[in-house]
Amino acid sequence: MYHFVSIETDSAERQGGQPIIIDTDLFSDVDDVGALTIANVFHNCGLADLRGIVINSPSQYGALAASALCTYFGNDVPISAFRPITNDTFFDSYFYLYGEYASKLAHNWPRKIETAASTPTPVELYRTILSSADDKSIHIISLGFLTNLADLLRSKSDHISHLSGSQLISAKVSELIVMGGQYPSGWEYNFGGGDPESTAYVIHHWPKSVNITYSGYELGVDILSGQTLVQRCPPDSPVLSAYQWYVGRGSTIRSSWDPITTLYGILGLEWFSKIGIRPMLAYSNEFGYNNITATNGSNAWVNDTGVSNQHWLRLAEGFTNYSMAGMLDEYFTHDPSLQSCFRYEVLSANHNGAF
C-alpha cells in the first residue's frame, strides 16, 4: 500500500540528481503546481531526484492533485497526505477572485494514488526517505506551513529508524529551503497564517550544522510567470488547466514564490555547470539568523557574525523579474521529449542577449 519499496529502488537507480523532498500546501494557490512542475521536469532531466512530496494542508485533494501532476510527468513519487484528512475544496474568501483546481486535477487526470488515506503520514514518509538516504544528501523544500517539519523534528526513535527526527535531519539533510517570511523582516502567510508556533519551533530548533535558505515574500511576488502556458502547453496539460482554473478571467499569470524556491532547491547557486547559465539568484547576506515571533509568525533578521548557515535569496545582479519569469515559463512548458534542461541557447534567443 505504501510506496516505501520504490523509494529504495529509485535511490539506487538514479545517480547525480539533487535528492529533494517537497513539503507543499498544494490547494489554495497555484504556484505550488508550478513548483511541482519544476521538480518533475528537473527529475526527468536527471538534475533532481524527487524522493517524495509531503502535503501540509488538510484536504485530501492536495495529495491526489500532486499524484495527478507526477503521473502526468511519468513519475511514481511517494506522497503523504496531512492528517486529519478533510474533503475541503478551496474557496477564495479573501480576495473572492481565485478558483479551485485541486479536486479538478484529482478527478480528471490519471493518478497513481487512489486515496489520501492510503498514503503514509508525513512523519512516516519523512523518516522513511531520510533513513534510506545518503549522508548529508537531501534538500527539503518547504512551500507552505511548517507543521510537518515540526512534527519530524519532534519525532522519536521508532521502527523506521533508531535516530530521532533531529538526529535524522543532522545526518541526512544538507539544506532546508523555505518559502516563508519577509526579509530582512516582516510578516508572511506561510510563517504566520496557519501554524506560527511550528514555524518558530522549526526555525529555532533546526540543527545548526544544516543550512537554511529562505525565499521571502518580496522575492517572488513580482515575478509573474505562467504567461505563455496557453500558447505553449499541450491542451491536456494539468499545469495549464490548474493555472486557468485558479487565476481565471482569461489569465494564467501568477506570482512565483514556490517555483523559484524549488529552482534554488534543485540547483543551489550552481546554475552554470547544471543548466548552462549563470545563477539568477544570489544570497543577500553572509551572516546572521532568522528570528520568529511564535505568537504571529513574523520574522526579523538578526545580524550575528557567529552564525553563517542561514541566508535569504535575492535576484542576482543583471537579472529582472521579467527574465526570471521567462526562465520559469521555459520549464513550465518544457517539452517532455527533451531529456535535457540545458537552457543557454533558448534563453539567449528569447531574451535577446539579456544573458
Asked if 259 touches Ca ion (CB under 5 A), the answer is no
The site for Ca ion, by CB under 5 A, has a size of 5
In angstroms, the CA 167 to CA 136 distance is: 12
> In this chain, which stretch among 162-170, 192-200, 209-217, 257-265 interacts with Ca ion, using CB under 5 A?
257-265
Which range binds Ca ion by CB under 5 A, 116-124, 168-176, 258-266, 330-338?
Answer: 258-266
**161 versus 252: smaller Cβ distance to Ca ion:** 252
| Stretch of 20-28, 67-75, 130-138, 221-229 lying at the interface with Ca ion (CB under 5 A) | 20-28
CA–CA separation, 197 and 139 (whole Å)? 23
DSSP summary character for residue 163: S
Strand order in the sheet with 18-24: 79-80, 48-55, 18-24, 138-143, 173-179, 211-215, 310-315, 281-283
Spatial distance between the Cα atoms of 310 and 173, rounded to a whole number of angstroms: 14
Shortest Cβ distance from residue 284 to Ca ion (Å)?
A: 21
* 151 near Ca ion (CB under 5 A): no
CB of 77 to Ca ion, least distance (A): 17
Between 92 and 158, whose beta carbon lies closer to Ca ion?
92
Match 515575478 to its residue by C-alpha cell.
223
Shortest distance (Å) from residue 254 CB to Ca ion = 11
Q: Does 32 bind Ca ion (CB under 5 A)?
A: yes
If one asks whether residue 143 binds Ca ion (CB under 5 A), the answer comes out as yes
CB of 349 to Ca ion, least distance (A): 32
* CB-neighbour burial class of residue 281 (10 A; exposed 0-12, middle 13-18, buried 19+): buried
Distance (Å, whole) CA 242 – CA 31: 10
Complex with Ca ion: residue 22 or 347, whichever CB lies closer: 22
State which residue, 146 or 171, has the beta carbon closest to Ca ion. Answer: 146
Decide: is 223 part of the binding site for Ca ion (CB under 5 A): no
Residue type, 199: T
Candidate ranges 19-27, 126-134, 239-247, 329-337; the one touching Ca ion (CB under 5 A): 19-27
- How far apart are the two ends of the chain, measured CA to CA in Å? 48
Shortest Cβ distance from residue 31 to Ca ion (Å)? Answer: 6
- Bridge partners (DSSP) of residue 176 are 140, 212
Q: Which residue in this structure is represented by grid cell 499541450?
A: 234
Note whether 192 binds Ca ion by CB under 5 A. Answer: no
- Of 45 and 63, nearer to Ca ion (C-beta) is 63
Nearer to Ca ion, 102 or 275 (CB): 102
The answer to whether residue 188 forms part of the interface with Ca ion (CB under 5 A) is no
Length of the chain: 355
Any contact of residue 178 with Ca ion (CB under 5 A)? no
Supply the minimum distance, in Å, between the C-beta of residue 2 and Ca ion: 25
* Residue 25 binds Ca ion, judged by CB under 5 A: yes
Pick one of 19, 52, 78, 144: the residue that binds Ca ion (CB under 5 A): 144
- The Cα 346–Cα 348 span in angstroms is 6
User: At 323, is the secondary structure helix, strand, or coil?
Assistant: helix
What is the residue whose three cell numbers read 519544476?
A: 38
Q: Cell numbers of 32, please?
A: 505550488
**E-strand spans in 59-209?**
79-80, 138-143, 173-179, 185-186
Closest CB to Ca ion: residue number: 143
CB 95 within 8 A of CB 60: no
**Interface with Ca ion (CB under 5 A):** 25, 32, 143-144, 258
